[in-house]
Amino acid sequence: MKRILVDAGPFRFVGQLEEQKAPRTCQRFLQLLPFKNKVIHSRWSGEAVWIPLGDFDTGLPFENHTSHASRGDVLFYPGGFSETELLFVYGSSIFASKMGQLAGNHFFTLTEGHEHLEAFGKLVLWEGAQDITFSLLNAQALPSR
């Protein structure tokens, strides 16, 4: 089981890849690590933040896809009807775009840091874009921040 460290604004989260349910998406995401970007608040998906990736061609099919992600889930939308993106869910959410409801590949689930999800989401909502970094966590203990 591969664990991923997420530094998001002033917060730190840890999660695991859903390798059995979304193997191709996990493999593709691992190729991008460490992944650094900005996260902004979603416009249509409720309590979620997202990383727009434009016309980035993931080469991915839909797998373990859903429109109804849970708090702490991260979806990778491979593109098609809307632009490619990552959706990071912090509360009640139905994945959508200006084109309507979407389904993204649920490939990553937070296992640590849930107590900070709401604060992180509200920070992005009220103060704007935040830095976010996903990196492979090899050590047993979290590195200090």
What's the pLDDT score for residue 99? 84
- Band (pLDDT 50/70/90 cuts) for residue 79 is confident
CA separation for the pair 31, 104 (Å, rounded): 19
Instruction: Give the residue extent of every domain in the chain.
Output: 3-135
- Residue at 137: amino acid letter: L
Please give the C-alpha separations between residue 89 and each of 39, 40, 69, 76, 145, in angstroms, as whole numbers.
Answer: 12, 12, 7, 12, 23
HSE value, Cβ hemisphere, 13 Å, CA-based, for 110: 24
Give the DSSP H or E segment for 30. Answer: helix 23-32
CA separation for the pair 106, 56 (Å, rounded): 18
In tens, the pLDDT along 18-29 reads 999 999 999 999
Residue 4 clears pLDDT 80, i.e. is over it: yes
Give the CATH architecture of domain 3-135: Beta Barrel (2.40)
What's the pLDDT score for residue 48? 97
> pTM value?
0.92
Residue 140 clears pLDDT 70, i.e. is over it: no
Strand bridging mode 100-101 / 96-97: antiparallel
Who contacts 59 (Cβ-Cβ below 8 Å, separation ≥6)? Answer: 28, 78
- Average pLDDT of 32-37? 96
